[in-house]
Amino acid sequence: MSIEGDARRLKLVIILSSSYGLLSFLFSFIGLASGQAAVHLHEYSLGGILTEISGHFLFGAVAAIPLLQIDLLLMAGSMAVLIDSDHILGALNLNAGSRPAHSILYAFFSAAFLFYLTNRLRLADRMKLKLTSLAPIALVSHLSYDVFVAFQNGGSRGGSFPLLTPLNFGLIPLSYLSWIVLEAVSIIASISVEVASRRFSLAGSKAKA
Ligand SMILES: [Zn+2]
């Protein structure tokens, strides 16, 4: 399937982003096994929630700029926000603590999920690569903003994350300056994906010639 027209591309972004959001929400239930207290939404003010959402969206979107497609930029931003969907369980007073989707294993799992969906949608190889890669890119940029905020709020201490959930719910600390490294890594990953996807299209057109 070739994606033509802005409306069609927007529809694709909405379908894939909502599927990713649902996956992230379902994955959050794993946190019920952690025995740790959830982050409760009511602990934030409305302004705090809006800042959190805009910050995650911005960091995710910036990370995807090298992919040179506005729809991918919007999708990366939305996915970076949706990683925090465990807050919904917190708002329901369920102790799905430890922010399960903040995990390297979740990045692999969600990438496999996006690859499966893009394969089912019969997208071109270069789009499959770009869309699948958004899973780790969104997570790394998400962690970057979380660490950035932790630094703003807490001074010298960065955030701690359950990077190995569901194998281990232990929180692994990241130093405060790692937010720069994490955002840089996500941007470099996007550049690499863009370069690789061009080689894909080049190889495809040579094969057809
Ligand atoms: Zn987070």
Quote the mean pLDDT of the chain: 86
For residue 97, pLDDT over 90 is answered with no
Question: Ligand 1 centre from 155 Cα, in Å?
Answer: 18
Question: Ligand 1 centre from 31 Cα, in Å?
Answer: 14
Q: What are the CA-CA distances from residue 173 to residues 114, 146, 180 (Å)?
A: 28, 12, 15
Question: Ligand 1 centre from 102 Cα, in Å?
Answer: 7
Spatial contact of 14 and 74, defined as CB atoms under 8 Å apart: no
pLDDT tens profile 157-182:
558 888 998 888 888 989 888 999 99
> 0.85 exceeded by the pTM?
yes
Question: Ligand 1 centre from 69 Cα, in Å?
Answer: 25
Question: Ligand 1 centre from 206 Cα, in Å?
Answer: 43
Question: Ligand 1 centre from 144 Cα, in Å?
Answer: 9
Predicted pLDDT at 170 = 86
Q: What are the CA-CA distances from residue 18 to residues 55, 114, 189 (Å)?
A: 19, 11, 23
Identify any residues that bridge with 161 across adjacent strands, giving them in sequence order. 172
Predicted pLDDT at 121 = 92
How many residues are listed for the chain in this entry?
209
Tell me which of 139 and 171 has the higher pLDDT: 139
Question: Ligand 1 centre from 34 Cα, in Å?
Answer: 17
Question: Ligand 1 centre from 208 Cα, in Å?
Answer: 44
Spatial contact of 8 and 123, defined as CB atoms under 8 Å apart: no
pLDDT class of 152 with cuts at 50, 70, 90:
confident
Question: Ligand 1 centre from 14 Cα, in Å?
Answer: 21
Instruction: Classify residue 50 by burial, with Cβ atoms within 10 Å: 0-12, 13-18, 19+.
Output: exposed
Q: Where are the domains of the chain?
A: 6-208
Question: Ligand 1 centre from 172 Cα, in Å?
Answer: 14
Question: Ligand 1 centre from 8 Cα, in Å?
Answer: 30
Question: Ligand 1 centre from 4 Cα, in Å?
Answer: 34
pLDDT tens profile 33-82:
776 665 555 566 788 889 999 999 999 999 999 999 999 999 999 999 99
Q: What are the CA-CA distances from residue 167 to residues 16, 102, 116, 194 (Å)?
A: 27, 13, 23, 32
Predicted pLDDT at 99 = 84
